[in-house]
Amino acid sequence: MSLAVLNDGQTVDAGHEPMISRSRRFGRMFAAAEQRHGPAGFVPLYLALGPRLHPRGPDTDDDAAATAALAEADLDSALLAALDDASFDSLVVDAHRDSQQALGARGGSPIISIDGQGFGGPVLTAPPSPHRATALLRAVIDAARTPEFAALQRPYQGPPAFTTGEHNIR
């Protein structure tokens, strides 16, 4: 799912423009990583980059975050060039289209698909303990496999928080 593609052709306020630009740039890098390495490149990069960007302060250096994430994921630093390479935009558009088709409607992030059933979410505010993460995954899978399940939502609980303790994402 790409925030940049989702908002293509839309008028967005100045406060959201940096997020859309960031989405476009990182979408390109993920497209390049997947093109070169398949899921074996995408997944570790996703896991390494997320904690560097969410939550982020106003002074977050995207290029430095990308450099560190590529190193942590053991991927070639040459993938940094994709951040500003528009030739990857069509791959991002294709991946975004696939996410929207899996969801069955226009929707934002995250989008997951289980057994052909697309869902928006789950949205977490902090990494759960391994035991609770396993229980949550099982519950999401059970919901996906229940044909009558339609939606579950509660009020927004705030932005994600990443701790440095036992349950750190990195």
Helix (H) or strand (E) holding 117: strand 117-120
DSSP label of 43 = H
Name the one residue in this structure whose structure tokens are 């496999």: 145
Helix (H, G, I), strand (E, B) or coil at 120: strand
Question: What is the reported pLDDT for 105?
Answer: 84
The neighbouring-strand residues paired with 119 are 112
In angstroms, the CA 51 to CA 47 distance is 7
Question: What is the reported pLDDT for 125?
Answer: 82
Please give the chain's pLDDT, 170 residues, in tens: 888 888 888 888 888 888 888 899 999 999 999 999 998 999 999 999 988 887 666 567 999 999 999 999 999 999 999 999 999 999 999 998 988 888 888 887 788 888 888 888 888 888 889 999 999 999 999 998 998 888 887 787 777 676 644 444 44
Q: What is the pTM of this model?
A: 0.79
Phi then psi dihedrals of residue 92, to 5 deg:
-65, -45
* Residue 32 burial class via C-beta count within 10 angstroms: exposed 0-12, middle 13-18, buried 19 and up: buried
In angstroms, the CA 28 to CA 59 distance is 22
Question: What is the reported pLDDT for 59?
Answer: 67
Question: What is the reported pLDDT for 168?
Answer: 46
Phi then psi dihedrals of residue 114, to 5 deg:
-130, 120
